[in-house]
Amino acid sequence: MNWRLEIAVQTPAHSALGDVLSYTHPSPVAPGALVRVPLGRREVLGVVWSAQPAGADDGAAALELKPVGAVLDALPPLGAAWRDLVAFAARYYQRSLGEIALAALPPQLRDLSAVQLARRLKRQAAPAAAAASACVPALTPEQAQALARYETESGPFLLFGSTGSGKTEVYLQAVAALLEREPQAQALVMVPEINLTPQLEARFKDRFGSGAVVSLHSGMTNPQRLASWLAAHGATARIVLGTRMAVFASMPALKLIVVDEEHDPSYKQQEGARYSARDLAVWRGRREGAKVMLGSATPSLESWHQSRPAQGEDGGGRYARLAMPSRIGTAALPMVRLVDMGLQPPRTVLSAALLDAIGQRVARGEQSMVFLNRRGYAPVLACGDCDWKSECPHCSAFRVFHKIDRTLRCHHCGFTERVPRACPACGNPDIAPVGRGTERLEEHLGELFAGVRRPDGSPVRIARIDADSTRRQGALESQLAAVHAGEIDVLVGTQMIAKGHDFRRITLVAAANPDAALFSSDFRAPERLFGLLMQSAGRAGRDAAYLSAQGATAEMWVQTHHPRHPLFAALRRHDYPAFAQRELQERAAAGMPPFAFQALLRADARTQEAAQAFLNAASAAAEGLEGAQHVTRYSAVPHAIQRVANVERAQLLVESASRRALQRLLAAWQPLLHGLRKAPEGKGVIRWLVDVDPQSI
C-alpha cells in the first residue's frame, strides 16, 4: 500500500502554491520527519506534516503524485509543539507553512543526503550535564524577590530592571534552579543582536560549562549553525543562546525562555516572513508549558501595558511585572545633563562644556562614550554652486560619504562609487560634506583632543564602533576587548555600543544629536529614542568601586535643541513609568497600538503608480470580506524611502481595535491578493507582502 504524505517545502506566500504539497511513499512516515522530495527540476528538503494511506477514492490524482526521494530517518522527527509553533507563525504572519518551517532549519541541512546526515549525527557529542559553578554572587533583595515570584507564579514575566540592576544574574539563577530541579530540561535565552552574544555566552559557559551551552545566530558559519541546531534538537545542549532566529530552535525539553532587551526592534524580522520573535516566544511558552521571562530597563509599551496591575474594573495585564529599580551595590544611575544647542554658537558639534567634561575624564584615566546613530563621514556630499547632492541613482536617498576609503555609498542598495574630484554637474572642485556621521565625529574629536594627555603622558586614544569599523571577522570582539582593558579613552559609535555592554570604566556618556526622532512621522520613534538614550546612559557608572576610587560621578550629556521636551524631563529622572504613562495616554487617545492592531500591505513595482494601483484595488476588493466592517483601511502611500534599487515601494495600512477581526480579514484577503497579482491591476507589480504588527510605518 502506498501512503500519501503532505509535505511542507520552501515556497513563498505570494507563489500561491499552498501550504503543503502531496507526495507518495511505500511506507508510513512520522509527522515531523525530514525528507528530500522533487520540486520542479530540483530535489529539496521538506518536513512531513501528515501521512495517510492512499485510498481508492484518491483516484487518478494519486497516480500523478511524485514519490518521496529519501527519508532522513537518522534524525528524530520534529515534535508536535515545534510544528504547532511553525503553523501558528505561518497563520498569524500570513506566510506559507513551508516558508516558515524551512527557514527555521539550518541551511546546511537542506543539502545533506540521508547518509551524510547519519554520519554527522554519529559525531555529535553525548548530552552534557550542566553543573552550576561554586562562584555564584549573592543576590540583592530585589533580585531575590524577583526570583521568588518567578518560582511561585506562572507568568509570563516582565523583568523591569534598571541598567546595572543585575538582570543577567536573575536569568542565570533561574536557569540554574531549573536544571537542578530537572536535569534534562532545556532553556532558551535570546538577545537582540549578534554582538551581544559573546559576553553572554562567556558568562553562561563559566556558570554551566561549555558542553551544556550552544549559540545560534546568523553570524555563525553553516557548519556551526548545524552543529548547534543538532545539539538543541537532540537535547545535547541544555542552554541555547541566540538572536531572533533561535525562537524556532527545536528544543524537545524546553522549560524556560528568556528574552533579554525585549523592547529591541531587532526582534522583529524585516525580510521575508516578518515575525516578532518576542511575541512568538510568549506563544511558544504557553504552548509548551515553559516559563517566559522578558527583561528590559525600557520595556516595549506593548509589554508594559500587558504587565499593568489591576485597577478598578481593569483586570490588569496578562504578564507579571517584576521590578528591580536599583543598581547593584552603591552605584547610582548617571546624572543627566541637557545642553541647549540653541544657545551654542552656530555649527557647534560638541559644546565647550561637554568637551571640557570629556577632557577631565581623559586626564583622570576614565573613559567616555559619544553616541551618534549615523555611520559614515557625512550623510551627504554637496556642491555649493549648483546645489548638486550625492543622490543615489537607484534609490530615493542620498549616498553617504565615507572618507576612510573615499567612497560614496548607498546604505539601502549598496551602490558605491569613488568620490568625484569635482562636482559632476558643474565642475566645481569645492564639493563639501554636509552633516556628520561617526567617522567624521571620530576625526573631529581627534583634532580637539590632540593636545590632551592621559595620566601616563601618552596621547588620547579614540576608537569608533559601527557597522563599518566591525566588518571584518573578529573586529568587534577585539575593539570591545580594548575598551574593557582600558586601552580606549573615548569611544564613538552608533547604537551598537548603546545596548547591553558591561563597560566598567566609562563614567560619561554623551548623545550628540538625538532630536530627529522627536518629530518623526513614525509614532514609535519617541519610544525607540527614549529606550536608546536610557540604554546609553546605562553604560556609564556601572562599577561603584571604580567611581569611588576615582572620586567621580557618572554623567549622561544630551545635546538638544528641545531641552523642555517631556521626553527629556522623564529621562533626567530616569523615570520610564512616567514616560510610558504619557505615551500610552496619547496612543489610547489616537487609537494606536497597543490599543489597536495593525498590518501593512506592501507592494514593490516598476512604477509608484503601479504599486499604489495594486494596493488601492486590493483595498476595494476587501470591502465585502468577513470582518471588513471592523477594520479601517487607509489609502496607499509611498514608503518613506520610496525607491530602493530601482524598485518603487508603496504601502497600505489596515487597523482594527480587534485582533481577531484583523486576522479574519487578512486570511480572507490572501486569495484575492493572489488573484489581483495576475489581473490587470497587478501589472508592473514585482512582489507584495503582508507585514503584521509592523514596527515602523
**Alpha-carbon span 436 to 74, nearest angstrom:** 56
Flag whether pLDDT at 108 surpasses 70: yes
Query: Range with the lowest mean pLDDT among 116-130, 350-364, 375-389, 635-649?
Result: 116-130
**Alpha-carbon span 605 to 645, nearest angstrom:** 11
- H/E stretch holding 216 reads strand 213-216
| Residue 395 marked as a ligand binder | yes
Flag whether pLDDT at 101 surpasses 50: yes
**Alpha-carbon span 307 to 160, nearest angstrom:** 10
**Alpha-carbon span 258 to 268, nearest angstrom:** 16
How many Cα atoms within 13 Å fall on the side-chain side of residue 153?
17
Percent of the chain beyond pLDDT 70? 96
Structure-block grid coordinates of residue 83:
510544528
Amino acid at 118: A
SS3 453: strand
Flag whether pLDDT at 13 surpasses 70: no
Q: HEC profile for 93-135? A: CCCCHHHHHHHCCCHHHHHCCHHHHHHHHHCCCCCCCCCCCCC
Q: Calculate helix-pair angle for 141-152, 167-181, nearest 10 degrees.
A: 40
Percent of the chain beyond pLDDT 90? 67
Give the per-residue pLDDT at 126: 61
Give the per-residue pLDDT at 194: 81
**Alpha-carbon span 24 to 2, nearest angstrom:** 6
SS3 219: coil
Q: Which domains does the chain have, with CATH numbers?
A: 3-122 (3.40.1440.60), 141-324 (3.40.50.300), 335-375+437-585 (3.40.50.300), 380-434 (no CATH), 597-692 (3.30.70)
Mean pLDDT of 655-675: 93
Peptide bond into 156 cis (omega under 30): yes
Please report which confidence band the pLDDT of residue 62 belongs to, taking 50, 70 and 90 as the band edges: low
**Alpha-carbon span 682 to 45, nearest angstrom:** 31
How many Cα atoms within 13 Å fall on the side-chain side of residue 54?
24
Amino acid at 361: R
Mean pLDDT across the chain, nearest whole number?
90
Give the per-residue pLDDT at 281: 98
Give the per-residue pLDDT at 128: 58
Question: Which among 328, 371, 290, 362 is positioned nearest to 558, based on CA atoms?
Answer: 371
Amino acid at 96: S
Higher pLDDT residue, 49 or 13?
Answer: 49
Nearest 5 degrees, angle CA 303-CA 306-CA 311?
Answer: 140
Burial class (CB in 10 A: 0-12, 13-18, 19+), 616: middle
Question: What are phi and psi for residue 236, nearest 5 degrees?
Answer: -65, -40
DSSP state of 564: T
Give the per-residue pLDDT at 40: 82
Mean pLDDT of 484-511: 88
Give the per-residue pLDDT at 198: 79
**Alpha-carbon span 108 to 125, nearest angstrom:** 19
DSSP state of 374: -
Please report which confidence band the pLDDT of residue 594 belongs to, taking 50, 70 and 90 as the band edges: very high
pLDDT tens for each residue of 236-276: 999 999 999 999 999 999 999 999 999 999 999 988 889 99
10 Å Cβ neighbour count for 119? 12
| Residue 135 marked as a ligand binder | no
The residues facing 492 across adjacent strands are: 370, 464
Query: What separation, in Å, do the N-terminal and C-terminal C-alpha atoms of the chain show?
Result: 54
Flag whether pLDDT at 365 surpasses 80: yes
Structure-block grid coordinates of residue 78:
520534529
Give the per-residue pLDDT at 155: 83
Higher pLDDT residue, 211 or 558?
Answer: 558
The residues facing 216 across adjacent strands are: 242
**Alpha-carbon span 211 to 128, nearest angstrom:** 6
Mean pLDDT of 441-468: 91
Flag whether pLDDT at 60 surpasses 60: no
SS3 44: strand
Q: In what order do the strands lie in the sheet with 70-71?
A: 66-67, 21-25, 3-9, 42-53, 34-39, 70-71
